[in-house]
Chains A and B, each alone.
Chain A
Amino acid sequence: MERFAVPSLIGRHVYLRAVTPQDFGFLHATETSGELGPRWRFRGATPSPEQWSHSTWGNVLAQFLVATTKDNSPVGMVAVHQANFQDGHAQLSAARFKPSDKTPSMMLGLAIFLQYVFGCWDLRKLYMEVPEYNYSQFSSGVGNFFEIEGRLRDHLYSGGRFWDQLTLAIYRDVWVDRGGAIVELETAG
């Protein structure tokens, strides 16, 4: 009989943990101020705590904080939402709390999350809606880890100009083939 393999949420450098009510104040403040505020989903707006909470949990299938194993500090957040099990796809979102942080921590956390999502649900592909101004943070992955499947030209206004919005797609088979080695390094031992 094959052994039941549980997708791990714990890596050597980072781990994923559930978002709890104790995190709400920190997350609300982080998302609506500082480096991340204009870049992520509220794009500079400051929703009330109630609106923020509703937006944070609406249609969410799974959501975690990415934290470092060294000192438990949160480095980002990952979520999959709007799952469509009939057609086998869902939306993926990921945010690094300090976009200027140059350690690989957030990418390792995202890799663990992708392994978890594809291990828990029979989804074929995950979509990411990405503003053009965030794309350069990970654009080298196109063709290797994800594809660009849509582009809305001049769709977003931020920083005094219009930007495209990209729809990226991560396919299960591509991820298993190319992302597995990175997850294996991070979760070994």
Chain B
Amino acid sequence: MRAHDSDPTTQEGFIARVADAARLPPSEVDLDARLIEDLGLDSIALLELIASVVAIPLAGEPLFDELAAQRWDETTVRDFWRRYKKRVVVIMDAD
């Protein structure tokens, strides 16, 4: 599965997008890995990842607002997934 075809509202698809941003195989992306310190995402990769996962129907601008404004120093893949899931997957499930 190519990362940009993956469905980020599933954990597998979300990890595929993180792996693509980090230029790693998905199998090497640990949920406890920190996006910047451990996976080595730089400022462009981080912004592309945020844009990639929010650019789906209903994810929308409020989520982009939250993600673009937060500090990412210690954020892990799990932290990001939980936040994303809480805001996006729940909205989509409600439809």
CB of B3 within 8 Å of the partner chain: no
Please, what's the 1-or-0 string for A96-113, where 1 marks a CB less than 8 Å from any CB in chain B? 000000111111100000
How long is the Cα–Cα vector from A104 to B46 in the complex, in angstroms?
Answer: 7
Contact B47 A182 (CB under 8 A): yes
Contact B51 A103 (CB under 8 A): no
16 contacts between A and B (CB under 8 A): A13-B69, A103-B68, A103-B70, A104-B47, A105-B68, A107-B47, A137-B43, A138-B43, A139-B42, A140-B41, A140-B44, A144-B44, A182-B47, A182-B51, A185-B51, A186-B68
Given contacts A102-B71, A103-B71, A108-B47, 11 further A-B pairs with CB under 8 A are: A13-B65, A102-B36, A102-B43, A103-B69, A103-B70, A103-B72, A104-B43, A104-B72, A137-B43, A185-B51, A188-B61
Q: Which of A108, A141, A144, A188 contacts B68 (CB 8 A)?
A: A108
The interface size of chain A toward B, counting residues with CB under 8 Å, comes to 24
Contact A107 B55 (CB under 8 A): no
> Which residues of A are in contact with B by a Cβ distance under 8 Å?
12-13, 70, 102-108, 136-141, 144-145, 181-182, 185-186, 188-189
**Which residues of the other chain, B, contact A137 by a CB distance below 8 angstroms?**
42-43
* Interface pairs A-B: 7 shortest CB-CB: A140-B45, A141-B44, A104-B47, A102-B72, A138-B44, A102-B73, A107-B47
Contact A140 B23 (CB under 8 A): yes
How many Å from the CB of A79 to the closest CB on chain B? Answer: 18
Contact B42 A104 (CB under 8 A): no
**Which residues of the other chain, B, contact A104 by a CB distance below 8 angstroms?**
43, 46-47, 50, 68, 72
Contact A185 B44 (CB under 8 A): no
**Which residues of the other chain, B, contact A189 by a CB distance below 8 angstroms?**
61
Contact B64 A12 (CB under 8 A): yes
**Which residues of the other chain, A, contact B47 by a CB distance below 8 angstroms?**
104, 107-108, 182
When A104-B68, A140-B23 are in contact, do A185 and B42 touch as well, CB less than 8 Å? Answer: no
Q: Which of B48, B55, B68, B70 has the most CB of A within 10 A?
A: B68
CB of B54 within 8 Å of the partner chain: yes
How long is the Cα–Cα vector from A172 to B50 in the complex, in angstroms?
Answer: 23
**Which residues of the other chain, B, contact A139 by a CB distance below 8 angstroms?**
42
How many Å from the CB of B67 to the closest CB on chain A? Answer: 8
Q: Which of B47, B61, B69, B71 has the most CB of A within 10 A?
A: B47
**Which residues of the other chain, A, contact B64 by a CB distance below 8 angstroms?**
12, 185
Q: Which of A105, A108, A140, A181 has the most CB of B within 10 A?
A: A140
Q: Which of A70, A103, A104, A186 has the most CB of B within 10 A?
A: A104
